[in-house]
A and B are shown apart, each in its own frame.
Chain A
Amino acid sequence: MCLGIPGQIVSITDAGRQMGMAEVSGVRREVSLAPVADRPLEALVGEWVLIHVGFAMAVIDEHEAQETLIALRELGEAQEALEQMAEGDRALAGVHAGEGTA
């Protein structure tokens, strides 16, 4: 919950709500770009950002992103974040979390 996970912004999905699609370790997830929208949204496409609970909190360089991902994997935090994203998707689909995940 407290450590962010790096992802790359691949497209803008809803300019009005400042939402974009991020790719996080091969998983796609819509995130809010509001905290880093100090520039035109289009300029964020291709950038790496640090994502906390669905919000892009800082733009980081690609090298930093890769190093951070390695560290998060070692700490087991990357896996945890990805599982939480999947859990969130299930919650939205109306499936009660935990069911059918074994």
Chain B
Amino acid sequence: MRYVQEFRDPKAAQGVLRAIEAVCTEIGCTADDPLRIMEICGGHTHAIFRYGLDKLVPAGIEFIHGPGCPVCVLPMARVDDCVEIAEQPGVIFCTFGDAMRVPGTRKSLLQAKADGADIRMVYSPLDALELARRNPDREVVFFGLGFETTTPSTALTLQQAKREEIGNFSVFCNHITVPPPIRALLEDPHMILDGFVGPGHVSMVTGIHCYDFVADEFGKPIVVAGFEPLDLLQSVLMVLRQIAEGRAEVENQYARVVPEHGNPVSLAAIADVYEPRPSFEWRGLGEIDASGLRIREGYRAWDTEAKFGIGYGARPKVAEPEGCACGAVMTGRMKPVACPQFGRGCTPDTPLGALMVSSEGACAAYWTYGGARAVAAAE
């Protein structure tokens, strides 16, 4: 338990860890026959590695890192679309910084910028709207990316653009939703999961009932969790208790931030602006039904796809680079270190796969904290 001293409240952490051990003994899970718990959110993946939680919990628990890093699951063809839009004359292309280094087939947005495209990293879609106000003779495109946590921000920005009739602004919508990939993973016969740690900040928007099917249809426990180390340990304990008691329920460990029914203003804005696409491609996972959003007819004038004639799926699908195991890592079939490219062709400075780009990607998290931990363990 050498890392416990890093916690702000080591006593509390030790108490929870002891309780986790007791329930593990009761369930009888072992290193050879572990319980597999998926943390869905990339922020959780990052925190698990930062605090070494995977090493702190008993060997009878295995964390499977879920698809909850929006940058990591973005299909390469969409990055190519971004580059194409950004390179058009007169365009100011705005993006969150996280997406800058994701490799496309030809280049990343960072390379396109170096080649002269006017690409700006913004903090908020509202910054992009402000750029459109200040540059009426330019076409401003915002690269809408992320789960339910960021979807309200672009929806509310589009509502504002429509109210003010700002005609030189549009959103390139690549928003995705959390529940459909969970369903896809649960339906995959190769994927054996015993329970879930659910995303905290996504649930702050959606509320907790969008996960009811996990418990009701698939009989698996799911606990919505905060991202601090103690939150995560407590949530793991809550999942284990459900398993030990033969229950499968949606529980909310993060009730201090996550309201049961979510954020009404955000949900209304999402419903007003967006509708589900029939299906959307996830890097490493393939096409998943109703997992992506597109802009509704009423906001067509602010839809980059309509404005620039870029339809979803028009581009042929792009195969993963040679030797890249992103798909296997993404579905928990392979650990990042087992990928032949890990640390060789692929590092955070020269990412080959998207899982190495964002701090929330499993490979980048392994790389950043795995080395330091190995050194500490050798002491």
* Tally of chain B residues near chain A (CB < 8 A): 55
The verdict on A53 contacting B131 (CB below 8 Å), with A38-B265, A70-B8, A84-B97 known, is no
A4-B200 Cα distance, complex, nearest whole Å = 10
B344 in the interface (beta carbon within 8 A): no
Q: Is the CB of A75 within 8 A of B46?
A: yes
B58 in the interface (beta carbon within 8 A): no
A12 in the interface (beta carbon within 8 A): no
- Interface-located stretch among B115-123, B275-283, B326-334: B115-123
**Which residues 144-171 of B sit at the A interface, judged by CB distance below 8 A?**
145-147, 149-150, 152-153, 156, 160
B174 in the interface (beta carbon within 8 A): no
**Which residues 52-102 of A sit at the B interface, judged by CB distance below 8 A?**
52-55, 57-58, 60-61, 64, 67-68, 70-71, 74-77, 80-81, 83-85, 87-89, 91-92, 96-98
A43-B134 Cα distance, complex, nearest whole Å = 31
A residues within 8 A CB of B152?
35, 55, 57
Q: Is the CB of B127 within 8 A of A54?
A: yes
Residue of B nearest to A97 (CB): B121
Q: Is the CB of A35 within 8 A of B46?
A: no
A residues within 8 A CB of B97?
83-84, 87
Interface residues on A, range: 35 or more
A29-B227 Cα distance, complex, nearest whole Å = 24
The verdict on A2 contacting B265 (CB below 8 Å), with A52-B153, A71-B228, A84-B97 known, is no
Q: Is the CB of B201 within 8 A of A35?
A: no
What are 16 A-B interface contacts by the 8 Å CB criterion? A2-B70, A2-B202, A29-B123, A32-B153, A34-B156, A50-B201, A52-B153, A52-B201, A54-B153, A55-B124, A58-B257, A67-B228, A74-B50, A75-B50, A92-B131, A96-B120
